[in-house]
Amino acid sequence: MKILYLLTGLGLVLSLVADPPRTGKALKIATKRFSKLLGEFALLLILVSLALTLLPPRTILSYLEGPGKLVGTAIAALIGSITFIPGFISYPLAGILHNQGVPYVVLAAFVTTLMMVGIVTFPLEQKILGTRVAIARNILYFILALITSLAIGLIFGEIP
Amino acid sequence: MKTKKGLAIALYSLFLVLSLTLGFKPGIQTGKNLLDFTVQMMKVLPFAFILIGLFEIWVPREAVERHMGSASGWRGHLWAVILAAPMVGGLYVAFPMAYTLHKKGAGLGAIFTFLGASSLCRIPMLIFEASFLGVKFSMARLAVSLPLVIGSSAILGRVLEKKGYEIHLEE
């Protein structure tokens, strides 16, 4: 995060020194683009806050602990696709699951779908990519996430 | 579409206000989540958009086109991964950035690789992942998923370009 602030500060200073009017233009683009997507960001926040209430980490933990490889992988992929959990919560959660003996293939399905498939980010994606391409991308990446998880199961010797 | 969005936001606000006055616990929790995430996102978004603005003003179109245009081949995908690796925030930052890259002449294949790579191989996230699930897990995940993403992005990009598809901000 600090690198982001440093980079932004450095970029702004350099830009200002080089050409103040153009820097003003850059800031104008920044605010215009941001305000254009404001509604989508609001929807994203709404969906995230609801998803986290309906599926809190505790509940996810209890769903993924019991069911074994096959069903576990399916549930993990489903949960990972619908909800949105930032890395600073999802990885410690995956760490706990790992310590409780949940197989890697299930953990992989959980973290890869969390990263690659986004129901919650869909309004934003739809606005930029268009409805059809946004749907296609999510379905495609869901399949890729499943393939990746199965491969991880193979690599760790969990799937014969 | 716009009224639907407004309606959703209005209903949600009503839900929060009612929960607060009636002491409905899940609703209050939702409000707390909202505050948490708004703070988290605001730590990233303003800076990300300033960088996007600076990028649009200072990076010449010709450079993006040459390195990431439809004719750039595997180098375009490589650049997409390099650009995605140091990112913070994830997909919600990657989508606006993808729009900017496309506007500057990046090909669709490289754009989809950029979107995939920014969810798969952001370095800050990888370090975090490896510390909780092990280096072997992270490396295996990358080794399998990244080639899959690059391959399918190239195909998806080609198909969509043939159809004349372009990324634009829908109203």
Q: What is the pTM of this model?
A: 0.90
The distance from CA B53 to its chain's CA centroid, rounded to whole angstroms, is 16
Model pLDDT for residues A80-138, shown as the tens digit of each residue: 999 888 888 889 999 999 998 899 999 999 999 999 998 899 999 999 999 999 999 99
What is the ipTM score, two decimals?
Answer: 0.89
Model pLDDT for residues A136-153, shown as the tens digit of each residue: 999 999 999 999 999 999
Say which of A4, A25, A98 has its CB closest to residue B133.
Answer: A98
Q: How far apart are CA B8 and CA B4, in angstroms?
A: 6
CA atoms within 13 A on the CB side of B115: 32
**Domain ranges across chain B:** 1-43, 45-162
Q: How far apart are CA A62 and CA A102, in angstroms?
A: 11
Give me B161's structure tokens. 């370009």
Confidence band of A58 (pLDDT split at 50, 70, 90): confident
E strands within A22-61? none
Answer yes or no: do A145 and B145 touch at CB < 8 A.
yes
Burial status of residue B88 (CB atoms within 10 A of its CB: 0-12, 13-18, 19 or more): middle
Answer yes or no: do B98 and A36 touch at CB < 8 A.
no
Confidence band of B95 (pLDDT split at 50, 70, 90): very high
**In A, residues 89-128, which contact B (CB 8 Å cutoff)?**
91-92, 94-95, 98, 104, 107-108, 111-112, 115-116, 118, 121, 123-128
Say which of B5, B95, B140 has its CB closest to residue A39.
Answer: B5
Helix H or strand E segment including A121: none
Q: Are B121 and B81 contacting, i.e. CB atoms less than 8 angstroms apart? A: yes
